[in-house]
Amino acid sequence: MSDVKPVIPVIDFEKLSLSKGDDSILRGDLEEIGGQIKEAFQTIGFCYLKNHGTDGDLIENYFKVSRDFFCTSPDEKAKFARSNDCNFGWVALERERINPERPGDLKEAFNYQPGINPDTWPSSEFKTLSQDFYASCKTLSLRICDALSVGLGLDEKYFRDAHKFIGVDGNPTTLRTLYYPPLPEVSSIKPGQIRLGEHSDYGTITMLFQDEIGGLEVEEKGTGFVPATPIPGTVILNIGDLMQRWTSDFLVATKHRVCIPEVEFKRKSSRQSVAFFVHPDDEYVIKCLDGSNKYEPISSIDYLNYRFSVTF
């Protein structure tokens, strides 16, 4: 791991925090914070948000109920396995190759989309906390969309209007809890295999809550991969390829990864994170904002299905 500190800015989101009602959000605050987010996305493509207002107990409880599920037997988890035609449920160890050039990732995951609304869950607590966490992330993501819209000189509701159906059928925005189990002896790890292969995300924005173990690395232009060290109380924010396409490459979707830890105690420790992958509504057609037609128009769902076809 590089010793160079990443240039990932920490942005104070307090003026747009979830503790504030929609009617108390000021245009000037959207301009200030939106400008900072835009600048981060023009350069490294990542930033930390502090004072975002997400309930700390909710985060802690969701991490716990997720960990309890991941620590059950493979047979029990298999009852809730994600199918190829439904983005809900458990993804087994090595099932995904986020970087198709590497062996399967050494991680597990559980995906939740409210629009799918399955009948069976690992537990009622898992279901309730997933619903609550999703709702909180939805509200925060829309605040971020408003700030980014203003930061890019667009109408305040421009990006919000492309995400009207988050949380219902017709929008693929997904809550994903991730679990990286303790690693076996190095000799049993396949050549080139890591915990999460190098990739950029698919959609518009991603919010990531991570535990104290860390391990996420972000590609910094001219430097290589550098650590996105956990900062207590923050959420990591980045954009996906669809947003880069939408802005005709004005904003940057940066590759990131989770490698095999060099320190033994971290290899023997589990790692957790929770991601909220934000996508426009299924039928929303993405066109270059600058009118350049650098990329041909494409619907949100067609783009996502194409990316899934490469990953699974």
pLDDT in tens, 163-202: 999 999 999 999 999 999 998 777 689 999 999 999 999 9
In the chain, what are the domain boundaries? 12-311
- DSSP code, position 281: -
For residue 249, the SS3 value is: coil
For residues 282 and 300, the answer to whether their CB atoms sit within 8 Å is: yes
Work out the number of other CB atoms within 10 angstroms of the CB of residue 42: 12
172: left (phi over 0), alpha (psi -120 to 50) or beta: alpha
Q: For the chain, which residues score pLDDT lower than 50?
A: 1-6
Q: What is the pLDDT of residue 2?
A: 42
The CATH classification number of 12-311 equals 2.60.120.330
* Tokens matching residue 138: 């939805």
H-helix or E-strand spanning residue 137? helix 124-151
For residue 15, the SS3 value is: helix
Among candidate residues 243, 276, 285, 289, the one with its CA nearest the CA of residue 114? 276
Per residue in 8-44, pLDDT (tens digit) is 999 999 999 999 988 899 999 999 999 999 999 999 9
